[in-house]
Amino acid sequence: MMEKTQINEWKEKLPLIGKMMAREEVLWLNPLLESTVTGLPKTGVTAADVKDASNRLKRFAPYIERVFPETKASNGIIESPITAIPNMKEALSNAYGITIPGELLLKEDNALPISGSIKARGGIYEILKHAETLAIEHGLITTEDDYAKFAEPEFGNLFAKHKIAVGSTGNLGLSIGIMSAKLGFNVTVHMSADAKQWKKDMLREKGVTVVEYADDYSKAVEEGRRQAEADPLCHFVDDENSLDLFLGYAVAGERVASQLEARGTTVNEDSPLFVYLPCGVGGGPGGVAFGLKLAFGDAVRCFFAEPTHSPCMMLGMMTGLHDEVSVSDFSLDNKTAADGLAVGTASGFVGKTMEPLLSGCYTIADDTMFNQLKLLADTEGIKLEPSALAGMTGPVQVIRGNVTEAKSAAATHLVWGTGGSMVPEAEMDLYYGMAGK
Ligand SMILES: *Cc1c(COP(=O)(O)O)cnc(C)c1O
């Protein structure tokens, strides 16, 4: 907790903080947003870095296709569809008494193959990159070879001598665990006590070691990091500071650009693209937003969505304190049913990188997420996990917030549906039943 006088100073300087402390749903527009021409060079991450990640994923496509047959249709490229949701648009407009003149689209990362969430982008990429580095070091492969070879026993034998560790309450653990185990790594996922039982069961079934901690998530991460650092053969996936995770997510930008082009959606200064991304620690939404900025420049406007109880990125960016501020400093309890978003302190790396590029952040109450979950299931037959619905009120927020271009019929609103397909049916039924409660 901050001193009361300090809190009062912040409230005076940034009146929105008072509303956030009252857990109201709010919209914050980033005063530091600038043009991508000047903003991108400030970040230290380049288009070449993202291209390198994209090329690496292409090299691995023959391997992915071989070991995950569900990726056959996409030739081993892990990608999700963009789906128009006109019935949801109507329901959303009616529920809030507003008009959304532009088209409403859903990016269905819930349907991403292998691990059913946005983590199948960054998480899988980081493990593949690590595997490639080891295989090249040990003379098993060159970048000119057919990477389907990664399925051969000599690779598994090498990786079995190496360890991967990650701290996660959920989807990152699933993605890292499934990919690492498939390659043959000795992989450990450090989980907090509140992690869902089905996730622990699924990981153990796939040969992943799951270590449980009585404390919260940050304790699990800290302990995982400590154990990994003591072991030179162990690679720790650092959700808060990993450039590789970020780059894996960023590849989404060029993919969205070609998907929108293929469906005839125009994006330019007169037809802006608004994208709404659920944000936890920040790597997923940050990486994706970065990739979108590379692909579309100023024509894309990215917004992060956070629970009213856990607006860590919003607090970090608006105060400029980034990872030096926690939601508990402002008396918020970080309690939310959106488990992917229950984060008290955001990634400082992502917050600083996105400072000149992010249009804004907004918050959403858990009740609203559950209502949107039911609405989307009822109107479009698409079932997302609670976290993944945080993006759905984005169009409402920006239109109500008088972001002029958002009210244009030429604007496109893309809600990033970050996860859902791994959730067991019985669990999903419980979520569905939470609406209106
Ligand atoms: C992890 C996750 C997010 C947010 O990603 P971060 O990198 O933690 O910001 C959003 N939605 C779902 C479903 C997730 O699993």
Distance 279 CA to ligand 1 centre (A): 6
The CATH number for 105's domain is: 3.40.50.1100
Distance 278 CA to ligand 1 centre (A): 6
Is the confidence at residue 9, as pLDDT, over 90?
A: yes
- 222 falls in which pLDDT band (50, 70, 90)? confident
Q: Is residue 290 part of a domain?
A: yes
Indicate the top mutation candidate among 387, 415, 421 to test ligand 1's pocket, ranked by most ligand atoms within 8 A of CB.
387
Can you give the pLDDT at residue 169? 74
Is the confidence at residue 206, as pLDDT, over 90?
A: yes
Same-domain status, 255 and 216:
no
Same-domain status, 299 and 174:
no
CA–CA separation, 339 vs 327, rounded Å? 16
Pairing of β 360-364 and β 27-29: antiparallel
Is the confidence at residue 432, as pLDDT, over 90?
A: yes
- Mean pLDDT value of segment 427-434: 96
- Mean pLDDT value of segment 228-244: 94
Taking residue 298's Cβ as centre, other Cβ atoms within 10 Å add up to: 16
SS3 of 363-415: the string is EECHHHHHHHHHHHHHHHCCCCCHHHHHHHHHHHHHHHCCCHHHHCCCCEEEE
> Whose CA is closest to atom 5 on ligand 1?
284
Distance 120 CA to ligand 1 centre (A): 11
CA–CA separation, 369 vs 2, rounded Å? 29
Q: Is residue 51 part of a domain?
A: no
Q: In what helix (H) or strand (E) does residue 128 lie, and over which residues does it extend?
A: helix 119-137
Answer whether 109 contacts ligand 1 (Cβ < 6 A): no
Angle of CA points 235, 241, 244, to nearest 5°: 65
Number of domains in the chain: 2
Q: Is residue 50 part of a domain?
A: no
Q: Is residue 197 part of a domain?
A: yes
Can you give the pLDDT at residue 201? 93
Same-domain status, 262 and 280:
yes
Collapsing DSSP to helix, strand or coil, 274 comes out as strand
Same-domain status, 88 and 205:
no
- 436 falls in which pLDDT band (50, 70, 90)? confident
How high is the mean pLDDT of the chain?
96
Distance 20 CA to ligand 1 centre (A): 21
CA–CA separation, 378 vs 234, rounded Å? 46
> Whose CA is closest to atom 11 on ligand 1?
418
Distance 37 CA to ligand 1 centre (A): 28
Same-domain status, 235 and 260:
no
Answer whether 126 contacts ligand 1 (Cβ < 6 A): no
Ligand 1: nearest atom to the Cα of 278:
10
pLDDT tens sequence across 345-404? 999 999 999 999 999 999 999 999 999 999 999 999 999 999 999 999 999 999 999 999
Answer whether 285 contacts ligand 1 (Cβ < 6 A): yes
Same-domain status, 340 and 418:
yes
Same-domain status, 145 and 254:
no
> Whose CA is closest to atom 1 on ligand 1?
340
Same-domain status, 171 and 262:
no
pLDDT tens sequence across 302-354? 999 999 999 999 999 999 999 999 999 999 999 999 988 999 999 999 999 99
Can you give the pLDDT at residue 20? 98
Answer whether 419 contacts ligand 1 (Cβ < 6 A): yes
CA–CA separation, 419 vs 401, rounded Å? 27
Label residue 238 left, alpha or beta by phi (over 0 means left) and psi (-120 to 50 means alpha). beta
CA–CA separation, 355 vs 351, rounded Å? 6
220, 147 contact by CB (below 8 A): no
Calculate the CA dihedral of residues 269, 274, 291, 109 and round it to 10 degrees. Answer: -150
Distance 5 CA to ligand 1 centre (A): 34
Q: Is residue 291 part of a domain?
A: yes
Distances (CA, A) of 165 to 121, 177, 211, 222, 239: 18, 9, 10, 11, 11
pLDDT tens sequence across 102-116? 999 999 999 999 999
Answer whether 385 contacts ligand 1 (Cβ < 6 A): yes
Q: Is residue 53 part of a domain?
A: no
388, 419 contact by CB (below 8 A): yes
- Final residue of a domain: which of 245, 264, 286? 245
Same-domain status, 379 and 417:
yes
Q: Is residue 65 part of a domain?
A: no
Is the confidence at residue 218, as pLDDT, over 80?
A: no
Answer whether 281 contacts ligand 1 (Cβ < 6 A): yes
Distance 152 CA to ligand 1 centre (A): 33
Determine the structural domain holding residue 174 and report its residue range.
118-245
pLDDT tens sequence across 31-80? 999 999 999 999 999 999 999 999 999 999 999 999 999 999 999 999 99
Ligand 1: nearest atom to the Cα of 285:
9
Distance 4 CA to ligand 1 centre (A): 32
- 88 falls in which pLDDT band (50, 70, 90)? very high
Considering only CA atoms, which of 218, 221, 200, 198 is closest in space to residue 209?
200
CA–CA separation, 333 vs 113, rounded Å? 34
Taking residue 71's Cβ as centre, other Cβ atoms within 10 Å add up to: 19
Q: In what helix (H) or strand (E) does residue 187 lie, and over which residues does it extend?
A: strand 186-192
Collapsing DSSP to helix, strand or coil, 279 comes out as coil
- Mean pLDDT value of segment 268-287: 97
Can you give the pLDDT at residue 404? 95
Same-domain status, 323 and 193:
no
> Whose CA is closest to atom 2 on ligand 1?
340
Q: Is residue 57 part of a domain?
A: no
- Final residue of a domain: which of 245, 275, 305? 245
Answer whether 340 contacts ligand 1 (Cβ < 6 A): yes
Distance 100 CA to ligand 1 centre (A): 26
Answer whether 306 contacts ligand 1 (Cβ < 6 A): no
Distance 118 CA to ligand 1 centre (A): 7
Same-domain status, 123 and 152:
yes
The token pair that represents 423 in the structure block: 């959730």
Ligand 1: nearest atom to the Cα of 420:
13
- Final residue of a domain: which of 212, 245, 278? 245
> Whose CA is closest to atom 8 on ligand 1?
280
Q: Specify the higher pLDDT residue, 232 or 193.
A: 232
Distance 98 CA to ligand 1 centre (A): 28
Same-domain status, 275 and 347:
yes
274, 299 contact by CB (below 8 A): no
The token pair that represents 326 in the structure block: 């926690």
Taking residue 186's Cβ as centre, other Cβ atoms within 10 Å add up to: 18
